[in-house]
Amino acid sequence: MNHLFVNLSAKPHKLFFLGGIANALIYMGLLVAHYMGWASSLIALPVYHAYAMIFMVFTQFFTAFLFTMVPRFFATPPVPRTQYLPVFLVLNLSSLLFALSLYSVMPLLAVAGAGLFAAYLMVCGVLMMANRQSVVENRCDTNWILLAFALGGLSHLLFLLSWLGVAGVALQRAAIDVGFFLYLFMVVLTLSQKMIPFFTEGKVEGYRASKSRYFLEAVFVLLVIKVLLEILQLSRYGFVVDLLLALITLWEIIKWRLPLFKVEPILWVLYLALMWVPVGFFLFFLEGAARYFTAGASLFFEKSPLHLIAIGYFTTMAIGFGSRIILGHSGRKPTADRYTVGLFMLVQLVVVMRALSGLSLNLDAAWYLELILLSAGLWIVLFLLWSLRYLRLLFEA
């Protein structure tokens, strides 16, 4: 047993991918329990679901990637075990306490939230230390990551204040929007526009991505406006911003001229993930435009646009990056066989099912619960199947 733990803790990606998988299963399982009427938490389901997905699931997956790539980004030594192991332990023990305290008492929930916040600050500390030690002159991308993590800290703090009874519903909504768009989305987008062209250039001779100089700046400004409109309760005007975000992200992807038919599935799945971004924002636009021009919600979208991005983009990227890193760091060629391609396609099925669940409210509300449970069940199946293939590799020497 000790030998297995030594192997698991030898590299940061192993620990945090394991933590991400475990939390993905735990918190989706709790979601199913709520919809089935088997459990009822102390806080609103949308609030704790968003918090868990942002800070206990996706943060772990992308921390695994960042802690692995930090030496390359900053030209610094690898992140030492003495730094990443305490982060993993504090984060996941606090996550377990959070799950248990959802059904006990609020003070315990606040303690768990404080532990999760401390773990998050420890992640930020590792990144800041690498930034201070770095001699790399061009830190544009890493600066965006640090800014996004700073805004994630703000989001996390707002959540924590709500557990302490300080923040109200409006600040909880702000915590979700800041955490989703200004933290998580910006981290994943920054990594995407940095790593996907880099991976492609290494596989396709002569390929060079034509990236826009102010792409990240434009997206960030629009996202700030989108979040502020929500906070100021002016979201009825947000459909204009959503259309601009859809057009800008689509145009940037087109500019890159990604060689879809010249690369292996381990790469083209990342291209596929990118396409969910403009599709998601376009659905946000349709939702907002319908509400604005009909003086009310003539169409129900529920959370479909958000989940197109959360599952289609974030989850596909997490699975794509995760598969690549786990294979590469276990001495295997980063490639996707039929089994892994099937996993990639299963993610897309989860996206479609979750989007249809929200849109089903326009036809027959009775379908909503069934489609929600189906999409949640497929999510659980996805991570179980991914674990069957990749979990054992995390415990190898």
pLDDT tens digits along 133-160? 888 888 888 999 999 999 999 999 999 8
Name the band, by pLDDT with cuts 50, 70 and 90, for residue 296.
low
- Give CA–CA dist 374/43, Å, rounded: 24
Mean pLDDT for the chain overall: 91
pLDDT in tens, 251-293: 999 999 999 888 888 899 999 999 999 999 999 999 999 888 8
Give the chain's radius of gyration (CA, Å).
Answer: 20
- Give CA–CA dist 113/134, Å, rounded: 32
- pLDDT exceeds 80 at position 237: yes
Most confident of 75-79, 100-104, 178-182, 258-262: 178-182
Contact 350, 276 (CB under 8 A): no
Helix axes 265-293, 238-256, angle to 10 degrees: 160
- Give CA–CA dist 63/55, Å, rounded: 10
Above pLDDT 90, what percent of the chain? 60
CB contact set of 276 (below 8 Å; sequence gap of 6+): 308, 309, 312, 313, 316, 351
CB contact set of 352 (below 8 Å; sequence gap of 6+): none
Mean pLDDT of 165-174: 79
Greater confidence (298 vs 180) lies with: 180
- Give CA–CA dist 70/188, Å, rounded: 15
- Give CA–CA dist 57/187, Å, rounded: 14
Mean pLDDT of 171-179: 92
pLDDT in tens, 48-74: 899 999 999 999 999 999 999 888 888
- Give CA–CA dist 53/310, Å, rounded: 9
- pLDDT exceeds 80 at position 298: no
- pLDDT exceeds 90 at position 7: no
Name the band, by pLDDT with cuts 50, 70 and 90, for residue 226.
very high
Query: How far, CA to CA in Å, does 164 sit from each of 43, 160, 253?
Result: 12, 6, 43
Show the CA angle centred on residue 51, arms to residues 309 and 112, nearest 5°: 155
pLDDT of residue 236: 85
- pLDDT exceeds 90 at position 299: no
Contact 20, 280 (CB under 8 A): no
Q: Which domain holds residue 50?
A: 2-394
**Could you give the dihedral angle defined by the CA atoms of residues 273, 275, 277 and 281, in that order, rounded to the nearest 10 degrees?**
-150
Mean pLDDT of 23-40: 91
How many domains does the chain divide into? 1
Which residue has 């519903």 as its token pair? 169
Greater confidence (172 vs 307) lies with: 307
pLDDT of residue 276: 97
pLDDT of residue 164: 78
pLDDT of residue 166: 74
pLDDT of residue 181: 98
The alpha helices in 232-264, defined as continuous H runs, are 238-256
Query: Per mean pLDDT, which range of 4-8, 34-38, 86-90, 280-284 is the poorest?
Result: 4-8
Q: CA 141 from chain center: how many Å?
A: 18
Greater confidence (138 vs 297) lies with: 138
CATH number at residue 283: 1.20.210.10
pLDDT in tens, 105-139: 778 888 999 999 999 999 999 999 999 888 888 88
Which of 143, 274, 138, 117 shows the shortest CA–CA distance to 200?
274
- Give CA–CA dist 192/270, Å, rounded: 8
Mean pLDDT of 240-261: 95
Q: Which pTM was predicted?
A: 0.95
- pLDDT exceeds 80 at position 379: yes
Contact 18, 391 (CB under 8 A): yes
Query: To which H or E segment does residue 381 belong?
Result: helix 366-394
Tell me the two tokens of residue 185. Answer: 């989305």
- pLDDT exceeds 60 at position 297: no
Contact 9, 85 (CB under 8 A): yes
Query: Per mean pLDDT, which range of 76-80, 100-104, 164-168, 305-309 is the poorest?
Result: 164-168
Mean pLDDT of 224-252: 94
Name the band, by pLDDT with cuts 50, 70 and 90, for residue 336.
confident
Show the CA angle centred on residue 385, arms to residues 383 and 387, nearest 5°: 65
